[in-house]
Structure 1
Amino acid sequence: MTRPTIDHTHNAAATSWVEGANGHPDFPVQNLPFGVFSTDGEDARGCVAISDFVLDLRNVYDADLMEDGDDLLHYASLATLNDFFAMPNGPSQLRAKLFAALTDDGYKSAMEPCLVPMEQAHMHLPFEIRDYTDFYTGIHHAVNIGSLFRPDNPLLPNYKHVPIGYHGRASSIRVSGTDVKRPSGQQKPAEEGGMPEFGPSKRLDYELEMAIWIGQGNELGDPIPVGEAEEHIAGISILNDWSARDIQAWEYQPLGPFLAKNFASTVSPWVVTMDALAPYRTAQPARAEGDPEPLPYLQHDTSAAAFGVTMEVHLTTPKMRQDGDAPFRLSKGPMTAMYWTAAQLVAHHSVGGCNMQPGDLLGTGTLTSGEEGGEGSLIELTEGGKKAITLPNGETRTFLEDGDEVVMVAYAEKDGFARIGLGECRAVITR
């Protein structure tokens, strides 16, 4: 497997002429994630994040400001990034060219007019999402959820042998900042043999996940070997896979999630590339003693197969916002809570011959740390709704109420390197 290596673009001492970029907690010049934005009255086009600005790649392309990068800039400046990330090595090459320009004062006068303040940028989904698969790789989450229903046997026997996933709804994925309407559906009868209720979900929940984007695809019937899987990953974002727990409890057997999941998923707008993440790669946590080895098609070098990314989820209520209170952090944990690696997810997804396409989204599943304060969902934090959370202002929550806003953030940091962030994944619950 060929992984991006640490190079001059990761040098913590590198500085940019862009105001506020040096030491920026999310978007220093060492990051340069790709996205798609628009401004009032103009079409959507590609960009990169730098400091508190977006660099308009269409303007950079139209002004012919970079040498030998026209084809790359053209594809990166389109209204979706599918074709751009389908280019072998294209994103790596353009990121390096942009790094060179943004750290060279000679480009400042020509390129500075291409910077748009983030508050003026309307962000869009970075890809045309053709398919969405949500996995269940968070083993601590799986144990916690299983314990609510099967206290003596929380993990089903297949969990440690096969990456579990289900086919989600691509059409209802929205970019961060889009409100989420509370879904309605059938709910389990109050008494055995009774009639189900119908109405708005009373147990609406978030799920703290990460998004893995597919760049280069594969042909139908031509599986992606696990040793080549990372070459097909464009990058990562933050994902909130909302869940209506009461609807889910009634419908999930025998075929799994349906209406409880298809009403909305929220994704952050920035694609942090595998190149940018190179310094923050870390070993996949060792499997517990006695766990089975993966089958041969899932075996690969896991010494740097995980991502050293920290995730957090915060909550604000209407009253908190009215009073000017700071968001309350509900949980914090690492992306290394995945039982399976990103490469294993891609390899398993395609092993039967499934054709992965540029812009396909793979969710990791809820990532719970296994430590107190690291629960990735309210159903875990409240022990199935039995134990309310008390917020600093005295309000309580078991599940989400109308007007609540969930904000997820993620970042990577390591001694000797600049901290980089993935931005925000936020949404308000409406009726």
Structure 2
Amino acid sequence: MTSRCWVPVPEDSPFTLHNLPYGVFAPDGGAPRVGVAIGEHVLDLARALDDDTFARPALNAFLAQGRDRWRDVRAKITALLTDASGRDTVEPALHRADRVRMLMPFEPADYVDFYASEHHAANIGRMLRPGQEPLTPQWKHLPIGYHGRSGTLVVSGTDVVRPWGQTRPADGAEPPFGPSRRLDIEAEVGFVVGTPSPRGTRVGVDDFADHVFGVCLVNDWSARDLQAWEYVPLGPFLAKSFATSVSPWIVPLDALGAARTAPPERTEPLRPYLRDGEDWGLDLALEVRLNGQVVSRPPFSAMYWTPAQMLAHMTVNGASLRTGDFYASGTVSGPGPRERGCLMEITWNGRDPVTLPDGSTRTFLEDGDEVAITATAPGPDGTRIGFGEVRGRVVAQPLRTED
């Protein structure tokens, strides 16, 4: 039985003593620093623990210290929040969450995005390759991914400027150039690497928790019309690199023990380096809102590839890990029509528009639209672990006459 937290925590709070997610915040008039969410407050760790590791504008210094240190700090925070005898010392380090500004929680190194949902990949295949096998031949043999642009990872709440670029021309015509007309979202889950690995070595599936610190939410904004013109033969580029939104709270793996689950049954044999014996599937329930209306509830438990398998594949060629490396799952989609994680699937490539409460319809995003993604996971003793939200609003890019 966990001791009682002396900080008031609302019954429906996503940030209980079982969670304790990490983020970077700026108090009113103060410098950015690392904090932990508890109820409606943020605990200033540098002050509460008297530790300068946390008096920094990113989690990286703490992440680099490794799993034993992560667990030690978590235990110390839990003790501070449950031992009322130290309340007079700790209480001044608490800030109201609605009075601080949340920032990007870590300094990104490399960024990789995967394509790990069988349901998403199959739906896209059916749309783009009708009458053919929906999955490409290698899909069930390895986690497909691509390198993204770490410099355009942005924290939740940052406006997303509609990208411009070339799109597919009519036969014999010049490629049109202009703002994307098929701007989409992708509801994803992200994983933050703490402990690095040397170049020329592999990270095995069983070593996942020794390297990955925690989990957050991701919206991988995607310009489908730019993507359709540019992605053959080398894959996504400008269609993805303009912005990827990340939630401000990183939920530690140590908070997700009750959320671990076996992945879906494999229908193809796996190479030994991808055999995940520790069941690192995660039972996360996502929710996607467009202008306040729920349009999808994707289940992360349906993902074919686990985050441990993604990490193992990412390093099997000897690629190194660095503190701050970040990788995302790719669009999370389930088997049902209300479980699809992007508008391309939800509207079936524009065929079935979504109707919003004001009577307007959407196939893809319009300027002014706001998308918010939230998620919860099972916690101990029937509790729920929350991830906060990743939110972004689409704004127009100013017209340049020279274009």
Give TM class, smaller chain: over 0.9
Q: Does 2:272 match 1:296?
A: yes
Q: Give the Cα separation in 2 of the matches to 1:229 and 1:114.
A: 33
Counterpart secondary structure, 2:365: coil
Moved more, 386-395 or 241-250: 386-395
Counterpart selection for 1:182 from 162, 165, 175: 162
In structure 2, give the amino acid aligned to 1:305. Answer: W
Q: Give the Cα separation in 2 of the matches to 1:112 and 1:59.
A: 10
Aligned length: 394
Tell me which residue corresponds to 2:401: none
**Does the 8 A contact of 2:32 with 2:56 survive in 1?**
yes
Give 1:236-247 correspondences, 5 Å limit: 236-247=215-226
Give CA deviations for 1:109-161 in whole Å, capped at 9, x if unaligned.
Answer: 22111111111111111111011000000110000111111122211101001
Cα deviation, residue 283, structure 1:
1.4
Tell me which residue corresponds to 2:19: 31
Cα deviation, residue 388, structure 1:
1.1
**Does the 8 A contact of 1:22 with 1:29 survive in 2?**
no
Moved more, 412-421 or 215-224: 412-421
TM-score, length of structure 2 as denominator length = 0.95
Cα deviation, residue 83, structure 1:
2.0
Counterpart secondary structure, 2:298: strand
Counterpart secondary structure, 1:59: helix
Q: Does 2:250 match 1:271?
A: yes
Give 1:245-394 correspondences, 5 Å limit: 245-287=224-266, 291-302=267-278, 304-316=279-291, 327-394=292-359
In structure 1, give the amino acid aligned to 2:345. Answer: E
Tell me which residue corresponds to 1:153: 133
Tell me which residue corresponds to 2:374: 409
**Does the 8 A contact of 2:374 with 2:389 survive in 1?**
yes
Tell me which residue corresponds to 1:218: 197
Q: Give the Cα separation in 1 of the matches to 2:208 and 2:17.
A: 27
Give CA deviations for 1:259-283 in whole Å, capped at 9, x if unaligned.
Answer: 0000000000111001111122111
Counterpart secondary structure, 1:262: coil
Q: Give the Cα separation in 1 of the matches to 2:275 and 2:330.
A: 21
What is the alpha-carbon root mean square deviation over aligned residues?
1.4
In structure 1, give the amino acid aligned to 2:44. Answer: D
Q: Does 2:150 match 1:170?
A: yes
Gaps of 5+ in 2: 397-403
Counterpart secondary structure, 1:370: coil
Tell me which residue corresponds to 2:46: 58
**Does the 8 A contact of 2:46 with 2:53 survive in 1?**
no
Give 1:62-101 correspondences, 5 Å limit: 64=50, 73-88=51-66, 89-101=68-80
Q: Give the Cα separation in 2 of the matches to 1:273 and 1:414.
A: 12
Cα deviation, residue 192, structure 1:
2.0
Q: Give the Cα separation in 2 of the matches to 1:55 and 1:416.
A: 24
Gaps of 5+ in 1: 1-7, 65-72, 317-326
**Does the 8 A contact of 2:112 with 2:146 survive in 1?**
yes
**Does the 8 A contact of 1:224 with 1:347 survive in 2?**
yes
**Does the 8 A contact of 2:6 with 2:81 survive in 1?**
yes
Tell me which residue corresponds to 1:397: 362
**Does the 8 A contact of 1:15 with 1:22 survive in 2?**
no
Give CA deviations for 1:297-335 in whole Å, capped at 9, x if unaligned.
Answer: 111314x3211111110011xxxxxxxxxx100100211
**Does the 8 A contact of 2:158 with 2:393 survive in 1?**
yes
Tell me which residue corresponds to 2:176: 197
Once superposed, which parts of structure 1, at least 4 consecutive aligned residues long, lie more than 3 Å away? none
Counterpart secondary structure, 1:357: coil
In structure 2, give the amino acid aligned to 1:309. Answer: L
Cα deviation, residue 221, structure 1:
0.6
Give CA deviations for 1:220-279 in whole Å, capped at 9, x if unaligned.
Answer: 111112221221111100000000000000000000000000000000011100111112
Q: Give the Cα separation in 1 of the matches to 2:148 and 2:369.
A: 24
Tell me which residue corresponds to 1:323: none
Q: Give the Cα separation in 2 of the matches to 1:310 and 1:344.
A: 20
Give CA deviations for 1:367-390 in whole Å, capped at 9, x if unaligned.
Answer: 101112001000011111122111
Tell me which residue corresponds to 2:383: 418
Q: Give the Cα separation in 1 of the matches to 2:360 and 2:89.
A: 52
Cα deviation, residue 392, structure 1:
2.3
Tell me which residue corresponds to 1:233: 212
In structure 2, give the amino acid aligned to 1:413. Answer: P
**Does the 8 A contact of 2:303 with 2:332 survive in 1?**
yes
Counterpart secondary structure, 2:107: coil
Q: Does 2:98 match 1:133?
A: no
Counterpart secondary structure, 1:102: helix
Q: Give the Cα separation in 2 of the matches to 1:340 and 1:223.
A: 18
In structure 1, give the amino acid aligned to 2:53. Answer: Y
